[in-house]
């Protein structure tokens, strides 16, 4: 499974040496596993000796994607949202204790940039302070358990922020001046998705968490992302529609983006209720 996951997020085929280095397995063990995977069609051995995902696994992934009503519905909805707001957008889904970015969209005519790197099945753990919109509507015990895993100095603010997100209907990933400078640097480089995701996680840990109501004045607001919850038929948050301003916006524009993300998420929530048995 580890080898399949590594091949699934790689930018291209990997050599046996690459796989050994990334997994920590011995060469003999990795070779034996790849032999079995290749025999079953889950991986393919290319003429140069490198490996990629096999046709059987790709076909299975396509079949699963077709059966995934939310992801199928989200594609055209996100396309419309990206065109409406003129920004990159994506859908993140919760699976257990992880969040996976499953589909994304960019505004028409805009070349893919570094933000798009986060849409290629990127995953992140559901741990504070990230993914707050997934916990804001959670039962009190689950919220408390999640907050308790954060460093002690962050816990009071996290509790206040979750209440603010629930009242607002969306999270706002806060952007500092240092954050702006670092993101501009990353945008000028070709940074692998895994590295970019880790850098973003570190930035979240050193930045002020979200915005409380009295911190949102009429001035310019710096925001990385805006995340609105998608509810399943049971009323739990299992996905999030995320809009990526990744810069400074005035308060009127911020409110417009929040409303757009919430509207899109509400439509997907209704779809989830409609297709639920």
Structure tokens at 92: 């993140």
Task: Give the CATH H-level superfamily of domain 68-275.
Answer: GAF domain (3.30.450.40)
Quote the pLDDT of residue 103: 87
Instruction: Kindly report, as residue ranges, where domains of CATH 3.30.450.40 are found in the chain.
Output: 68-275
What DSSP letter does each residue of 153-191 carry, written as one string? Answer: HHHHHHHHHHHHHHHHTSEEEE--HHHHHHHHHHHTS--
pLDDT, tens digit (0-9, with 9 covering 90-100), for 24-33 = 999 999 999 9
Instruction: Kindly report, as residue ranges, where domains of CATH 1.10.10.10 are found in the chain.
Output: 2-62
CB 42 within 8 A of CB 51: no
Q: Does domain 2-62 correspond to CATH entry 1.10.1740.10?
A: no
Quote the pLDDT of residue 117: 44
pLDDT, tens digit (0-9, with 9 covering 90-100), for 116-169 = 445 446 778 888 888 899 999 999 999 999 999 988 988 999 999 999 999 999
| pTM exceeds cut of 0.95 | no
């Amino acid at each position: 499974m580890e080898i399949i996951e590594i091949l699934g997020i790689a930018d291209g085929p990997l050599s046996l040496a690459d796989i050994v280095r990334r997994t920590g397995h011995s060469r003999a063990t990795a070779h034996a596993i790849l032999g079995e995977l290749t025999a079953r069609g889950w991986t393919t051995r290319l003429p140069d000796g490198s490996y990629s995902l096999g046709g059987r696994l790709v076909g299975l992934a396509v079949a699963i994607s077709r059966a995934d009503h939310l992801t199928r519905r989200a594609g055209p909805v996100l396309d419309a949202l990206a065109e409406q707001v003129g920004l990159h957008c994506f859908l993140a889904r919760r699976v257990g204790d992880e969040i996976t970015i499953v589909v994304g969209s960019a505004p028409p005519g805009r070349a893919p940039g570094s933000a798009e790197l986060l849409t290629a099945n990127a995953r992140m753990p559901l741990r504070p302070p990230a993914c707050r919109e997934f916990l804001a509507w959670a039962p009190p015990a689950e919220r408390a358990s999640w907050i308790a895993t954060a460093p002690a100095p962050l816990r009071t603010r996290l509790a206040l922020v979750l209440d603010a997100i629930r009242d607002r209907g969306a999270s706002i990933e806060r952007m500092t001046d240092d954050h702006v400078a670092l993101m501009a640097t990353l945008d000028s480089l070709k940074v692998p998705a895994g590295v970019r995701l880790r850098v973003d996680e570190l930035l979240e840990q050193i930045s002020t968490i979200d915005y409380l109501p009295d911190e949102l004045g009429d001035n310019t607001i710096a925001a990385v992302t805006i995340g609105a919850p998608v509810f399943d038929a049971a009323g739990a948050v299992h996905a999030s529609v995320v809009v990526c301003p990744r810069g400074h916006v005035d308060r009127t524009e911020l409110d417009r983006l929040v409303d757009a993300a919430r509207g899109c998420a509400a439509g997907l929530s209704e779809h989830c209720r409609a297709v639920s048995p």
